Amino acid sequence: MEIRPILSALLRSKTGAILVALQVAISLAILTNALHIVGVRQAVAARPTGIAGENSVFYIRVRHLVEGSHQQQIARQQSETQALRAIGGVASAAFASQAPISRSGWTTSLAATRTPGADTSPGAMYYSSDSLVDTWGLKLVQGRDLRPDDVVDIDGKTSPEELFPKSVLMTRALAGKLWPGAAGVLGKTVYFGTSPDGNAATVVGVIDTLQTQNGELAARGDYALIVPIRQSFSPAMYTVRAEAGQLDRVMKEAEATLRASNQGRAIITMQTAAADRKERYRADMALSWMLIAVSVLLLLITASGIVGMASLWVTQRRKQIGVRRALGARRTDILRYFITENFMITSVGVLCGVALSVALNQLLVSRLEMARLPLAYLAVGAGVFWALGVAAVYGPAWRAASISPATATRSA
């Protein structure tokens, strides 16, 4: 076995081996944690909003320069919604107060009881007098959708506070937060705050997923409910689902239709659901690409370090290589010697790197509340550096194996 003489040689000249092992250890620790963060960020960015077929959905906001009375605004909402539905290629259109992961909207405090001091939960409130379940393709897992007779017409300036819908939809996550462990929540009463005179409504349906306007992390990002309210908003927002392949054309026609109906007395802006997702997770994607670039750079630096050190060792050992070749050593023997030597050094670096990876992850968990590093990242990282070490040393090792005994003796 060549391991004992290789180990003896390394112990006599430890500096180079220690530097390579240290480089592997540090690179492995950074690489595994960086890629773990990338995986977490990518998973966050890929979370479903609840909207089916996001690439076919867009939002159009209309700020009327002359708002008019509440009745005029409601009439205008209804006429504009009908105008959008009449456009060819529109599968569905609805009025909505806000959109998922749009970074703007309403949130309220919800409770399962009016008892003072009871636990409350935040909940994003989606107002609509139309069916968002149909337009957004939300998955209803319990109960029914809201009906037209559930809708309450509210004037924010004159309507009494007790005028409020008696039926709401909520997400599965919010239901689990308010009534943990409950087998079903249909018919349960949700309270808007815990004050004695606060509004209350009955849960008539549960939807699988609907992200909040901010798309917070963990379960809180799905704490949302849909309230059947017809209310004047400025700007008015409509959500439209186009038929497959018709999005661009429908968006142009929708803008032209609303501009014509308002005779230029409105400011109209549009945004696709896909664009909202891109904007919401822009920072996450930028961080992911930056960490990927750092990881690739680390691999290149580590590989160049191994190549440089192996090349130096080949130069320093030309005489020894020549002697071994003269004594009958084959090229494969020389090649195996250098690859085995590098594998041993890399293995020490990998073992130290695994310990360093776990320590770094513990620091991130305690300070930044990061998720724990899965063992799969350590296994893959170790395999990558073992393979990298063999690949990086192969070139210098092959040059060493190509040295003839006569050339080595003359150069000694």
The per-residue pLDDT for range 38-78, each reduced to its tens digit, is 999 999 999 999 999 999 999 999 998 888 888 889 999 99
Q: What does the pLDDT read at residue 9?
A: 64
Q: What does the pLDDT read at residue 311?
A: 82
Residues 112 and 178 sit within 8 Å (Cβ to Cβ): yes
Coil/strand/helix, residue 203: strand
DSSP string, 89-136: TEEEEEE-S--TTSS---EEEEES---TT--EEEEEEEE-SS-HHHHH
* Percent of the chain clearing pLDDT 70 (strictly above): 92
Task: Report, as an integer, the average pLDDT of 251-268.
Answer: 91
395 or 318: which carries more pLDDT confidence? 395
397 or 247: which carries more pLDDT confidence? 247
Q: What does the pLDDT read at residue 1?
A: 46
Task: Report, as an integer, the average pLDDT of 252-265.
Answer: 90
Q: What does the pLDDT read at residue 355?
A: 96
Q: What does the pLDDT read at residue 412?
A: 46
Cα separation, 50 vs 198, in Å, equals 29
Q: What does the pLDDT read at residue 398?
A: 81
Decide if pLDDT at 272 tops 90: yes
Coil/strand/helix, residue 233: coil
Of 160-174, 212-226, 335-349, give the lowest mean pLDDT range.
335-349
Task: Report, as an integer, the average pLDDT of 189-207.
Answer: 90
pLDDT band at 410 (very low <50, low <70, confident <90, very high): low
248 or 344: which carries more pLDDT confidence? 248
Query: Residues 193-210, buried b or exposed e (16+ Cβ, 10 A)?
Result: ebeeeebebebbbbbebb
Decide if pLDDT at 336 tops 60: yes
Residues 372 and 283 sit within 8 Å (Cβ to Cβ): no
What are the residue boundaries of the structural domains of the chain, listed by start? 3-46+282-411, 98-232
Q: What does the pLDDT read at residue 327?
A: 67
Q: What does the pLDDT read at residue 285?
A: 93
Of 207-216, 332-341, 351-360, 383-392, give the lowest mean pLDDT range.
332-341
When the pLDDT of each residue in the chain is averaged and rounded to a whole number, the result is: 89
> The tokens of 64 are what?
């009327």
> The tokens of 229 are what?
């309210």
Task: Report, as an integer, the average pLDDT of 85-102.
Answer: 95
213 or 315: which carries more pLDDT confidence? 213
**Is the N-terminal amide bond of 405 cis, ω within 30° of 0?**
no
47 or 320: which carries more pLDDT confidence? 47
Task: Report, as an integer, the average pLDDT of 187-216.
Answer: 92
pLDDT band at 277 (very low <50, low <70, confident <90, very high): very high
10 or 210: which carries more pLDDT confidence? 210
Q: What does the pLDDT read at residue 342?
A: 81
